[in-house]
Amino acid sequence: MQKNQIIQLKIDNVGMNGAGVGRYDGMAVFVKNALPGESVNAKIIGVKSHYAFALPVSTDGVSPMRRTPACPLFNKCGGCTLQHVEYRDQLKIKREFVASAMKKAGVCCDVQPTVASEKQLRYRNKMSLPVGEGKDGTAVGLYALNSHRIINCDDCLLQPEWNVKIIAVFRRFMQNSRLKGYDEKSASGDVRHLVVRELSGVLYVTVVATHEIDLGAFADILKADGMDFCLYLNVNAAKNNVILGERWKKVAGAPRAANINGFMIDVHPAGFFQVNDYIRDKIYRDVAGIVSDEHPRTVIDAYSGAGVMTAMLSRCCKRAVGIEINKQASASAHRLIRDNNVSNMTALQGDVKNVLPTLKSFSEDCAVVLDPPRGGCDASVLHTVIDFMPLSIVYISCNPATLARDLSIIEPLYEIKLVRPYDMFPMTDHVETLVLLCRK
């Protein structure tokens, strides 16, 4: 198989980035936007040792899974890789993603149907838009698939309607201020990202700049438009792809505590918080119910973020301990404890692999909750958990591949009782998964 070769193949399933997968001479070929049941003539655009990438040239037949994408930027933007798929089929595809990862890792389990999101569009409570320079001035939008080329966007359909006004106001500010968007190649420019999170009706707006800039005019425009907001400046002068820097400055507005599952909490803009309120709350309630059934003396919540789930877990045990590496998120957890008088909860700030071993004295009759980032758990964390021999382990994952890898280490000593995918990210190829393991 060679680049630019035209091949014919039948699409059998959906793989990475929502591409249709077919086989040609025994090699997997990922065809952009193709769907199962379709036969395509495809042009090879890249060849690896065991697979290839292709673009469809022509298609014979239309898959019953196919629908017309709602967004005009679907073929340009890299965000909504499954927007051309009927929602019921998106749920099936994501279940198969999890089942396939488990099978590949040699993990034997039954995977439940994917829990649907209440909303399929307008569900995100947070947006992060890169800012650069284009032919027509400042570019504000989303990256094209597998690139850092910015696609201008006036309305992302995954964001609530407030994103339209925020983007328009920000463009106006950039035009009037003479500030320049960031150029990654030359590491030049003033503004790198616009990040917005909504909590209880308040918009927490962060402008990420390469140096200290005056955001007073931006605050004035936000006020004039009647928005309930809190504006921050974040300075990130590093020559890398990390969005946020270490320096923060509150410019205008006042943070306001939000009620999340019965706990009043304020989340710093740098703190992690799940983007889909409905699925987040569903997972939190499910985890609390599962752990409660195990009647643990102590619950250790590793990678605990702002501490909401730790607080919920404190209701079903004598002691709940959260571990979080992010300083701002850990500070939010401490404020949650104070403001809600959660006397049996402790929030520890630090790397899980360093902090967890210090909790050995709490390991008797304990339950451990693992909610790591996409890279999964460090091997040392898994071995520490196994050494604790908790009554149960609850693992929440946003990456089926690393989840399956980690479960293959735990499984010899623990029985997998539950594997349940959740559609945290409708219209994308990402899936959240909850796993319950009990001591054999």
Mean pLDDT of 160-165: 96
Are 401 and 376 members of one domain? yes
Are 338 and 214 members of one domain? no
Determine which helix (DSSP H) or strand (DSSP E) holds 339, and give its type and residue range: helix 327-340
Q: How are beta strands 366-370 and 392-397 bridged, if at all?
A: parallel
Are 104 and 153 members of one domain? no
Are 240 and 324 members of one domain? no
Mean pLDDT of 309-315: 97
In a domain, 207, yes or no: yes
Are 280 and 378 members of one domain? yes
Domain count, the chain: 3
Stretch among 88-97, 98-107, 242-251, 254-263 having the lowest mean pLDDT: 254-263
pLDDT of 228 higher than 90: yes
Q: Which residues contact 232 (CB under 8 A, 6 or more apart)?
A: 204, 205, 206, 207, 248, 249, 250, 251, 269
pLDDT of 79 higher than 90: no
Mean pLDDT of 125-133: 96
In a 3-state reduction of DSSP, which class is residue 181? strand
CATH code, 136: 2.40.50.1070
Asked if residue 303 lies in contact with residue 372, where contact means CB atoms within 8 angstroms, the answer is yes
In whole angstroms, how far apart are CA 112 and each of 143, 175, 291? 33, 50, 19
In a domain, 326, yes or no: yes
Distance (Å, whole) CA 308 – CA 326: 15
In a domain, 82, yes or no: no
Measured in degrees and rounded to the nearest 5, phi and psi for residue 279 equal: -70, -40
- Which residue matches tokens 């706990």? 263
Mean pLDDT of 177-184: 94
Please state, rounded to an integer, the average pLDDT across all residues of the chain. Answer: 96
pLDDT band at 229 (very low <50, low <70, confident <90, very high): very high
Are 298 and 374 members of one domain? yes
- Which residue matches tokens 């690896």? 48
Are 172 and 251 members of one domain? yes
Are 141 and 188 members of one domain? yes
In whole angstroms, how far apart are CA 295 and each of 100, 289, 315, 365, 389? 33, 10, 11, 8, 15
Identify the pLDDT of residue 146.
82
Identify the pLDDT of residue 21.
98
Parent domain of 236: 126-259
Are 210 and 348 members of one domain? no
Mean pLDDT of 169-175: 95
CATH code, 322: 3.40.50.150
pLDDT of 194 higher than 90: yes
Asked if residue 308 lies in contact with residue 288, where contact means CB atoms within 8 angstroms, the answer is no
Identify the pLDDT of residue 395.
99
Q: Tell me how many degrees the CA angle 276-36-98 measures, rounded to the nearest 5.
A: 45
pLDDT tens profile 243-287:
999 999 999 998 899 999 999 998 889 888 899 999 999 999 999
Identify the pLDDT of residue 163.
97
Identify the pLDDT of residue 134.
84
Residues annotated catalytic, as ranges? 398
Are 412 and 304 members of one domain? yes
Identify the pLDDT of residue 136.
80
Identify the pLDDT of residue 205.
98
pLDDT tens profile 28-56:
999 999 999 999 999 999 999 999 999 99
Tokens of 97: 């993603």
Distance (Å, whole) CA 267 – CA 199: 8
Identify the pLDDT of residue 145.
83
What is the total residue count of the chain?
440
Alpha helices in 145-274 (DSSP H): 162-177, 216-224
Identify the pLDDT of residue 78.
84
CATH code, 12: 2.40.50.140
